[in-house]
C-alpha cells in the first residue's frame, strides 16, 4: 500500500477507534477489490456491513467493547447516539450486567413505527447491534469520551427499566455519585417516561437513591436493609478517635439509640480477596474494635439470599 494512502487511512481510523467505513475507503482511493482482499487476507475484520477494523493483531480475536460502540454509530451516521444500557456503560455507571449482550443506539433521523427494536446484521462475533425505535432530539445528545450519547438523566431512565430492583437502585446511586444527573433531573425524566414498561417499579426507588453509595454492592446491601425495615442511619459513617482523627468510613452505619455504632461493610470480591486487602481489612477491623464499633460484613453472594442481610443487621442491632 502506498505510503500516502496508508497515512490517509491512519488519520481517519485514529479518530474512529481503528475503524474505517466502506465510503471512507473509497474516498481515499481504495477499490472494492482492495477492501475484499484485505478482509480475505485477515488484515482487516468486517464487523458490520461496510464497517472494518483495519488492524486486528492487537486484539487477539476479541474486539474491544468501545470498538463495537463506534462501529454501531458509524453504521448509521450523524444524528445517532448510544442509548440505554450502552449509554450507562459509557457514563461508567454501576448496575449493568457484567456481560454486554447488545449495543443500543437510536437517532434523530428515526421515525418510530414499531414498538420493537431492530437488530443490525453482524459479520463478526460480538454483541448485537440494536436500534431502538425512539426519536432522539438533537438537544438530548452530548459527547462523552469522544462518543455521542443520550443525555445522562434520560439514559438513566432508559437503562433502568429492564433491570431488577437492586440494579435499578445501584444505577440511580451511581448516577448521583458520578454527577451524571441530579435527583431533580431524574425526577423530570421519570415524569417524561410515564407509561413505559417497567416505569412503575422505578418510582419507589427514586427517593431512595443516594449518591454517597460508592459501589453496586453497597446499593444491594442497603436495599435489602430497607426492605427488611432496618435502613442504615447513615452512609460513609465516619469513625474518629478522641482527638478527631479519622479512623475509618463505614459503608453503612447504624448509631441511633445504640451504645456502640454498628458498621456495615460491603466486601467486593475483586478487592477484598486480594492478600494485601485482607491484611488491611484485618488491621482496620482491629482499629474499629478499639474504638468501640461493631461490624458486620457482606459479599455479593449474601445479597442474593433475600432477607439475609437485613436479618444479620437486625440480630446485630438487637445484640448491641
Return the beta strands (E) in 184-314 as ranges: 234-240, 246-254, 262-266, 294-298
The tens digit of pLDDT for each residue in 172-184 reads 999 999 999 999 9
* Long-range contacts from 59-67, C-beta under 8 angstroms, 24+ separation: 63/124, 63/126, 64/17, 65/89, 65/100, 66/17, 66/147, 67/17, 67/18, 67/19
- Let me know whether 183 and 269 are in one domain: no
- Let me know whether 96 and 157 are in one domain: yes
- Let me know whether 269 and 182 are in one domain: no
Where is pLDDT greater, at 74 or 78?
Answer: 74
**Reported pTM:** 0.87
Task: Find cell 463478526 and name the residue.
Answer: 124
- Percent of the chain scored above 90 by pLDDT? 69
Residue 276 has pLDDT above 60, yes or no: no
Q: Which of these three, 150, 180, 208, is where a domain ends?
A: 208
State the residue range of the domain holding 283: 216-319
- Let me know whether 106 and 176 are in one domain: yes
- Let me know whether 45 and 91 are in one domain: no
Q: Which of these three, 56, 83, 98, is where a domain ends?
A: 56
For the beta carbon of residue 308, count every other beta carbon within 10 angstroms. 15
The tens digit of pLDDT for each residue in 209-258 reads 999 999 999 999 999 999 999 999 999 999 887 777 888 889 999 998 78
Q: Strand, coil or helix: what is 173?
A: helix
- Let me know whether 265 and 139 are in one domain: no
Return the beta strands (E) in 84-177 as ranges: 102-107, 118-120, 128-135, 141-144, 147-150
- Total domain count, the chain: 3
Give the C-alpha separation, 292 to 262, whole Å: 9
- Let me know whether 290 and 160 are in one domain: no
Which of 161, 241, 174 shows the shortest CA–CA distance to 201?
Answer: 161
- Let me know whether 112 and 168 are in one domain: yes
Give the C-alpha separation, 120 to 115, whole Å: 16
Amino acid at each position: 500500500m502506498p505510503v500516502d494512502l496508508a497515512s490517509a487511512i491512519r488519520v481517519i481510523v485514529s479518530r474512529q477507534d481503528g475503524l474505517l467505513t466502506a465510503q471512507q475507503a473509497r474516498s481515499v482511493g481504495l477499490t472494492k477489490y482492495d477492501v475484499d482482499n484485505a478482509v480475505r487476507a485477515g488484515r482487516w475484520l468486517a464487523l458490520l456491513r461496510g464497517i472494518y477494523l483495519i488492524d486486528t493483531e492487537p486484539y487477539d480475536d476479541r474486539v474491544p467493547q468501545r470498538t463495537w460502540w463506534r462501529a454501531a454509530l458509524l453504521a448509521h451516521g450523524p444524528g445517532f447516539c448510544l442509548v440505554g444500557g450502552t449509554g450507562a456503560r459509557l457514563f461508567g455507571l454501576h448496575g449493568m450486567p457484567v456481560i454486554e449482550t447488545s449495543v443500543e443506539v437510536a437517532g434523530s433521523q428515526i421515525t418510530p413505527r414499531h414498538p420493537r427494536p431492530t437488530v443490525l446484521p453482524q459479520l463478526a462475533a460480538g454483541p448485537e447491534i440494536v436500534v431502538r425505535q425512539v426519536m432522539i432530539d438533537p438537544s438530548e445528545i452530548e459527547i462523552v469520551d469522544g462518543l455521542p450519547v443520550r443525555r445522562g438523566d434520560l439514559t438513566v431512565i432508559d437503562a433502568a427499566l429492564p433491570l431488577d430492583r437492586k440494579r435499578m437502585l445501584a444505577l440511580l446511586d451511581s448516577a448521583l455519585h458520578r454527577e451524571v444527573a441530579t435527583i431533580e433531573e431524574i425526577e423530570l425524566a421519570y415524569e417524561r417516561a410515564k407509561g413505559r414498561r417497567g416505569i412503575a417499579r422505578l418510582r419507589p426507588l427514586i427517593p431512595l437513591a443516594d449518591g454517597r453509595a460508592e459501589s453496586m454492592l453497597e446499593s444491594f446491601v442497603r436495599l435489602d436493609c430497607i426492605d427488611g425495615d432496618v435502613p442504615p442511619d447513615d452512609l460513609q459513617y465516619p469513625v474518629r478517635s478522641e482527638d478527631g482523627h479519622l479512623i475509618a468510613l463505614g459503608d453503612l452505619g447504624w448509631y441511633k439509640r445504640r451504645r456502640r455504632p454498628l458498621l456495615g461493610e460491603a466486601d467486593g470480591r475483586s478487592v477484598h480477596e486480594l492478600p494485601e486487602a485482607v491484611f488491611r481489612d484485618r488491621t482496620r477491623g482491629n482499629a474499629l474494635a478499639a474504638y468501640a464499633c461493631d461490624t458486620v460484613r457482606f459479599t455479593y453472594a449474601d445479597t442474593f439470599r433475600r432477607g439475609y442481610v437485613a436479618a444479620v443487621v437486625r440480630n446485630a442491632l438487637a445484640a448491641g
